[in-house]
Structure 1
Amino acid sequence: MNTLGLTMILKMGCICTRESININGTKYIVKERLGEGGFSCVELVENTNTKKRYALKRITCHSIEDQKIAMQEINYCKKLRHPGIIELVESTFKGSADIVVQATSEAFLILPYYKRGTLHDYLTLKSFNKNYMDEKDVFRIFLDICQAVKFLHDFTPDSISHRDLKTANVCLTDQLDPILMDLGSCAPARVQICGAQDAQKLQDIAAERSSMTYRAPELFHVESYCVIDQRTDIWSLGCILYAMLYFKSPYDIVYERGDSVNLAVISGTINFPQETPFREEFHDLIRLILEVNPSNRPFIDEVIEKTENLRNKIGNIV
């Protein structure tokens, strides 16, 4: 699982020596480290000519397979062009990965830099004083996220799932417009599982690339003969909507208590605060989206329709 995300608030320390990097003929100066994960890091860089700042994602590749995974992320960034999905400014590889001779390569992705950081950062700041989001902002941001997800799910010729939707993978512009990022987990949405070996392989990939507290129940225990589809993302959207109301995924709370996230997810346990500024209809919408049985879980069009209906209903009441 790639837990990195482009977190702009949590600084991982200053880089004292100003490293310069040349990417496809453009020179960038590294300003500071923004975050890091197991095999990748994100740095704030500046174009030496234009002085414009970007986020540089470096992915360390220890094998040919690692290179293929990094190239897959680059390819998804290039072909998924939508206002609500992060833009790839440019990219390149340096070095050559060959595990036999202990060599490594690096993939470099130049991405837009969002000063506000992520939705996760935004909610963390609000949670300090229980400064709940305004209902109008909840509807607007959530529906914009849904439209970006719809673009993935409606993509032709084959539907695409993000597979790691979470608040830390949603950047916010200065106007609080959401931008989906971290496309390294993207995959064909519909997967036919034929046997225990297929099931274990997908389960292992999900454990590595899909954040546990936003992961759909069918990815915790993949059945030997089944079809997995884009509704894995719908579950994650339900966790995001819950977090927009109460600052964290319902299963972040389970994890922090030290209880089993696995059991809570597959049982469909959702606990809502007793004291809340939000209407019960919000909870009903979250329950609809967080349907344990993927066959009964709505597709993205129904999620958008139900959310718009609730927005219109509340607007008329007000």
Structure 2
Amino acid sequence: MNALGLSMIFKMGCLCSRDYLHINSSKYFVLEQLGQGGFSTVLLVEHSRTRKRYAVKRIVCHGREDQKVALQEVEYHKVINHPNVIPCMESSVSGSPDPVLNTTSEVLLLLPYYSRGTLAYELEVRSKMRHHLEQSEVLRMFLQICEGVKAFHEAKPVPLAHRDLKPGNVLLDIDNTPIIMDLGSVAPACVKVRGSSEAQRLQDLASERCSMPYRAPELFNVDSYCMIDQRTDIWSLGCLLYAMCYFKSPFDIVYERGDSVALAVISGTIDFPTVTPYTQDVHELISRMLRVSPMERPYIYTVIESTQEAFSKYKSVV
């Protein structure tokens, strides 16, 4: 057999051995892994017939509780319908989780693919070049993120909180439209904690599912008797806006130094660069969101209003 024939066999062999997965009646070829978290993997896939590309979130469930959480994520996608929140186009579940038999199930979520990647990637590139986003662009994007968060806080029958808002969970469309993703941390916004065991359970859940440099103070050390509400997201938005301005959350910097993030968060001390391309209005907005006491933080409606005011004021000056 000549070299061309061998080459064709190798190529056919590669095609035949490509990983693929089924979601309901459609087949998708796996192209590459886009990301991996503690509970899931995100894959870039291609529809076998249309060749259109999508992202698939694959969640492997080792027990019934894992599967329940994964299926709840699918349900949250059905509840939230907003242009700044990623939609789940289809989902499927296969297998049966049983830790005794060492079997697992798999939940797949078919999602749109955004080729530009995340806001975290954008900020990383800009950080290397020391190229800040324009203030008008920061406020425009932040306003859209807030509108997406508002959809969670207004959810029916109960308000929801995202609980893990950060640059890594914001995708960018081709026109710089921000899209909130990863609903795996979403939970009912208002939680009445009654007793130390409930407090510890919530604290453990937060440590698993809420990224430390963006986690609200009340989730680091949950009081035995308290009410947690959607203003956990407002704290995260404060950290997010700071990162949009200065490439990282103020507590990312603490973490990288090896200091205690928990102590820094609970102290509530926020430092702003003395040389900055941003106005005092932006710093004041961040500071209002980063109040240690959740009772002193604004709700999302006030954040949106303040952002709109800062945006209008800046545009009139420029």
Q: TM-score of the superposition, structure 1-length normalised?
A: 0.93
Greater helix proportion: 2
Distance 1:16 1:133 in 2: 45
Q: Cα distance 1:49–1:16, how it changes in 2: closer, same or farther (>3 A)?
A: closer
- Per-residue Cα deviation, 1:94-151 (whole angstroms, up to 9, x for no partner): 2110111111111111111000001111111111111000111101100000001111
Q: Which amino acid aligns with 1:287?
A: S
Name the SS for the 1:100 alignment partner.
coil
CA gap of 1:95–1:234, structure 2 versus 1, over 3 A, is same
Distance 1:134 1:106, change over 3 A: same
Q: CA deviation at 1:16?
A: 11
**Letter of the aligned partner of 1:33 in structure 2?**
Q
Matches within 5 A, 1:256-267: 256-267=256-267
Distance 1:241 1:189 in 2: 21
Q: What is the aligned partner in structure 2 of residue 68 from structure 1?
A: 68
Q: 1:62 to 1:271 in 2, by over 3 A?
A: same
1:17/1:245 CA distance change after superposition, 3 Å: farther
Q: What secondary structure is seen at the aligned counterpart in 2 of 1:22? A: strand
Partner of 1:130: 130
Correspondence 1:162-173 to 2 at 5 A: 162-173=162-173
**What is the DSSP-based 3-state SS (H/G/I as helix, E as strand, rest coil) of the residue aligned with 2:42?**
strand
* Equivalent residues in 2 for 1:146-295, closer than 5 Å: 146-295=146-295
Per the alignment, in what secondary structure is the counterpart of residue 125 of structure 2? helix
Following superposition, the deviation at residue 315 of structure 1 comes to: 1.9
Structure 1's consecutive aligned runs of 4 or more residues displaced over 6 angstroms after TM superposition are: none
Partner in structure 2 of residue 306 of structure 1: 306
> RMSD in angstroms over aligned alpha carbons?
1.3
Is 1:57 the counterpart of 2:54? The answer is: no
Alignment-derived partner of residue 4 in structure 1 = none
1:280 to partner: Cα distance: 2.1
Q: Is the 8 A contact 2:114 2:173 kept in 1?
A: yes
Structure 1 residue 17: Cα displacement: 4.7
State the one-letter code of the partner of 1:284: E
Letter matched to residue 281 of structure 2: E
1:156, distance to aligned residue in structure 2 (A): 2.0
* Residue 42 of structure 2: aligned partner: 42
- Aligned residue identity for 1:141: M
Q: Name 2:139's counterpart in structure 1.
A: 139
Q: Which amino acid aligns with 1:143?
A: L
Contact 2:79 2:156 in 1 (8 A): no
Cα distance in 2 between the residues matched to 1:152 and 1:206: 18
Q: Residues 91 and 107 of structure 2 are in contact (CA less than 8 Å); yes or no, is this contact kept in structure 1?
A: yes
Matched, 1:19 2:16: no
In the alignment, the residues of structure 2 paired with residue 78 and residue 150 of structure 1 have an alpha-carbon distance, to the nearest angstrom, of: 16
1:22 to partner: Cα distance? 1.6
C-alpha distance in structure 1 between counterparts of 2:281 and 2:257, whole Å: 27
- Matched to 2:308, the amino acid is E
Number of the residue aligned with 1:296 = 296
Query: Which amino acid in 1 is paired with 2:311?
Result: R
One-letter amino acid matched to 1:103: T
- Largest Rg, 1 or 2: 2
Q: Which residue of 2 aligns with 1:89?
A: 89
Secondary structure, counterpart of 2:38 in structure 1: coil
| Whole-angstrom distance in 1 between the partners of 2:268 and 2:156 | 32
Find the residue that maps to 2:96 and give its secondary structure: strand
- Count of equivalent residues: 304
Any stretches of 5+ residues in structure 1 without a counterpart?
Answer: 1-14
Match for 1:291: what amino acid?
Answer: R
Where do 1:109-120 residues align within 5 Å?
109-120=109-120
Higher mean C-alpha deviation, range 70-79 or range 273-282: 273-282
Shift of 1:19: 0.7
For 2:32 and 2:155, how far apart are their aligned partners in 1? 36
SS at match of 1:59: strand
Supply the distance in 2 between the matched residues of 1:293 and 1:16 (Cα, whole angstroms): 58
Structure 2: state its 5+ residue gaps: 1-14
Larger RCO (alpha carbons 8 Å, 6+ apart)? 1
Q: Secondary structure at the match of 2:129?
A: coil
Q: Offset of 1:76 from its aligned partner?
A: 0.7
SS for the counterpart of 2:295 is coil
Q: Offset of 1:282 from its aligned partner?
A: 1.3
Distance 2:175 2:312 in 1: 23
Q: Give the conservation status (yes or no) of the 8 Å contact 2:79–2:155.
A: no
Query: TM-score, structure 2 length as denominator?
Result: 0.93
CA distance in 2, matches of 1:53, 1:298: 40
Distance change (3 Å), C-alpha of 1:259 and 1:315? same
- Determine the structure 2 residue equivalent to 1:7: none
